[in-house]
Structure 1
């Protein structure tokens, strides 16, 4: 009798329908995706570090990124600091959206998802301006993938690739956030009885914010 019960219990473990690590299948897949993406960003930043410290000369970020819109004042890293603050603030609004979802507060989710989307759009707009200013430069030829008025071409190449790759993630996040926001307004998640999709997209958005902190630290500050 005991042998039969033990065999049945073991069979149930492999019968399907189990939630590994006590999270849903969707959340687990999101974590796996984020882990793989983390390896990609890590490889990019490590490559940047190797090229930078193997070069005899390298541009000083404070001198390159010293401009700010609508003024000619010299403000090193102020604009990119504002961009970073906006993105971190959007992560806070995402936390509030997730918390509202757990309380089944539809209006709260709508409000905080809306502000998260706004934060993402503002960040992308700021990044577009920064790219434009970097490309046109100070009138000495600007910067491209093969030319950089500030120094070694690798500086510009890594700037475009790393910030562009991250910007693509932010853009994707904004699109996904809008889809979740639209579904929330339609009451899709109220019908399902949970707001787990908000939590899933929240994981992605926090990851994008965290990656930017590393990009900001290693590319702009170090």
Structure 2
């Protein structure tokens, strides 16, 4: 290849469209969400393999609370709805509704985490901690990994709201709200799968 040809390949033609910051950020964030999906798929597979390895201890039928799991699900599903409403308000540049929607999302997410911590504390107090059996180790790992993601999401949302109050609807803030919304909805989908396979099928069916 000649020097001239190499130069042409190395540099885009004049006037050619270059990827914007928004495109690069969006692509990178989708890659992150994909990696998270692989992580949770591995944890679901581990739970499926180990769900019967109770070592003579209590199984899912004896441990899980339907009432607590349903309340957790209602909190997270509702928070996903309010997050979506907040993004619609953001698209319309409605400051009050955007702020209100994300605040309600944060409160519901905090309620979800509170219920999850209370469930873990109750299980450990009953002698069903993660060190009791392989089944409980896989359960605590799967559910707590999701809970850690929700907690990180709440911290992220808190920082975004502080930035939003100071800067308003800047392109960077809107882009960050969009990334947060995608992250939150993915967590909602993961929880639906977790609720179905761990609590419903594993605990009651």
TM-score range normalised by the length of the shorter chain = 0.7 to 0.9
Q: Distance in 2 between matches of 1:13 and 1:55?
A: 66
Change (3 A) 1:35 1:121: same
Which stretches in structure 2 are left out of the alignment for 5+ residues? 1-7
Match in the other structure for 1:4: none
- The question of 1:163 aligning with 2:143 is answered yes
Q: What secondary structure, in the 3-state scheme, does the structure 2 residue paired with 1:24 have?
A: helix
Aligned residues: 193
Deviation string, structure 1 residues 111-131 (Cα, Å, up to 9, x no partner): 001001001110000001000
Query: Measured at CA, do residues 176 and 24 of structure 1 come closer, stay the same or move farther in structure 2, by a change above 3 Å?
Result: same
Separation of aligned partners in 2, 1:12 and 1:58 = 68
CA distance in 2, matches of 1:125, 1:100: 28
CA distance in 2, matches of 1:108, 1:54: 49
Residue 143 (str. 1) matches residue 128 (str. 2)? yes
If asked which structure has higher relative contact order (CA below 8 Å, sep 6+), I would say: 2
What is the 5 A alignment of 1:28-43?
A: 28-43=27-42
Structure 1, unmatched stretches of 5+, are 1-6, 67-76, 148-152
- Using the alignment, how far apart are the partners of 1:90 and 1:13 within structure 2? 47
Match of 1:122 in 2: 111
Question: Is contact 1:61-1:221 (8 Å) kept?
Answer: no
Aligned-residue RMSD, C-alpha: 2.8
Deviation (angstroms), 1:181 = 1.3
Q: Does 1:110 align with 2:94?
A: no
Partner of 2:153: 173
Structure 1 match to 2:193: 214
Q: Does 1:99 align with 2:88?
A: yes
Mapped to 2, the partners of 1:210 and 1:105 lie a distance apart of 27
CA–CA distance in structure 1, aligned partners of residues 54 and 176 of structure 2: 45
Q: Could you say which residue in structure 2 is the equivalent of 1:150? A: none
Distance 2:134 2:183 in 1: 29
